[in-house]
Structure 1
């Protein structure tokens, strides 16, 4: 299912060629690399370095081949303003430690001062630019800002799959001015997800959790046409119950999913029991009940043990599993039980793909992350790709300067 090298990306009903970083002659060249270092910070340090580690293979490859490496990333949502707490200095320190080589950091991302810093670099050296979202032109995909970024380099490599669905200057605009290619992380993401849309080993089971059915109609509709079973958990499962108190839009979305599942012939499993809390004058009471006998006013926070067992059996028979969305409030014991059961079953599958930050966090909390075949670094990008939507950053690579 997982190819080492992506040469074509299938999306929007078309085959589009995406060049690999391996196809670029990088020795002695200045290479601008868009990475996704949008990591959580705590006390001025990086709290989770997963996304930084994911970019190491591409960065190391370029350094080892004598390229001058210029890294661009965003962090948080500064909304076009300079926010001191969102500077990338903690990221530079973590990256330097992980790479075992110096990483210079500059306090801007465009302009004469930055160009002078780049000019001073030698082969194999690294410069991390400041948060590109300090400029409103970044999210506006402003051509002048993209050109200013492009002036820093001879080549462009995009390795930021997590923002591939964003048409920003540093993900899309700059590719119009430089020969561009995909880094190893972006390649792998596309290859794995293409495998799910192509010919996944069967049985193919999709596990979907989270809060809103309406947010996932596109991806669920796309995957249902390929899957053998669809398992629904999380808060959104309530929309599928006959006496649901979910909002009308959610109930309507659930009915649409049920109709499409019937048309596709996919088995659709929803919770037969649930667990949660009931807040009353007597305090907070934990309960477990069948989905047709939920306590009035009770808050559903997890799938019940019978549902967890059913889901586990279904996943256990699968050859390929895609999981997006925890099936309960896994951050709060005892309502992590259902999600941990699902996580262990997914990790035991021959091919297991997990998408979304919360889902990845749930897998780590269950202690099974290392056993998964692939944890996607994308949330929105993963769902949009699997729904068959065009990812602007991937399309930009295909049409970049010198791509044809």
Structure 2
């Protein structure tokens, strides 16, 4: 039987017993890709001895869309919409990563106003992403109420993004040199209303969940990984910080305006599912604080919303409609693109799931020679066996949820 046929056969059910020895309790169980806790596109081959996990092999590729190769076939700006579809729950941070890499090769000077707004958008995106994680994680564990509350509040952030970019999920709002357009005037008032509402909502989430004895029983002591092992596996983000490692790219390698708006690194020492749960709660509150600082700075900041480079940044729309030279420049940038000096660069940003890195190689043409994305979810999934080994099979769902993987970012 071919591997394709084997995969098609396995995909017919959420659980499939691949092999079993009638004289022992050992078996190999195929979990997914249609199992609800694997969210549609992840298959896990679990080796069991009774109810105890003795081995685990993730199988990915069900959502592969050639994002890296497509990025190399188009112009530099054509890579931005592809990043929207990597981690589609944190598209703002994905846009920022590739734009930071391109801007580094171009040596563009980005206005402070642009940097501050990028921080604000990325921190709002972090809150929205953690709300999706919390709602779906609790749903996997059998608690349905938090799901509705989290998605209700996330919709408010999506309304803000829609007001600014016109989209609710795949924004492509952050562009090389700045933004596609300035945020509307009422955007800032809406953000202020959100920042006043959200702390009470997060307190409500915690009142529902954090001291719930059933939740504690499901998460505490489950899926543990030490700080030393987390570093050895290359983990990042909340998963790494929940193991006691103080590493956050916003602080250790600042980008955008994080040298002015400095986050506090949220850590826990336990390294289990409960610690990862608590770290993300701490991060939501910290993101609200950072958003407040960024909003105050934006109200006082002035200047351009784009870098000053006529060869890279399109002219404003009002100029395009009224000036022939501006229209021609817009057409050239949109159709032909722009040339990037030869060289290579690696830029990384701190997404809600960890370090998203972009390795970009330019040969001096309008097209990237090579684009590679360093996915934090791919690395986290590689440590799944370490966390699950020796534990109960029923705990596997809790461990997967605590990693907060997005398969669009893994299958790139």
Q: Give me the TM-score of the superposition, normalised by structure 2.
A: 0.23
Higher RCO structure (Cα 8 Å, ≥6 apart): 2
More helix, by proportion? 2
Would you tell me which structure has more strand in proportion to its own residues?
A: 1
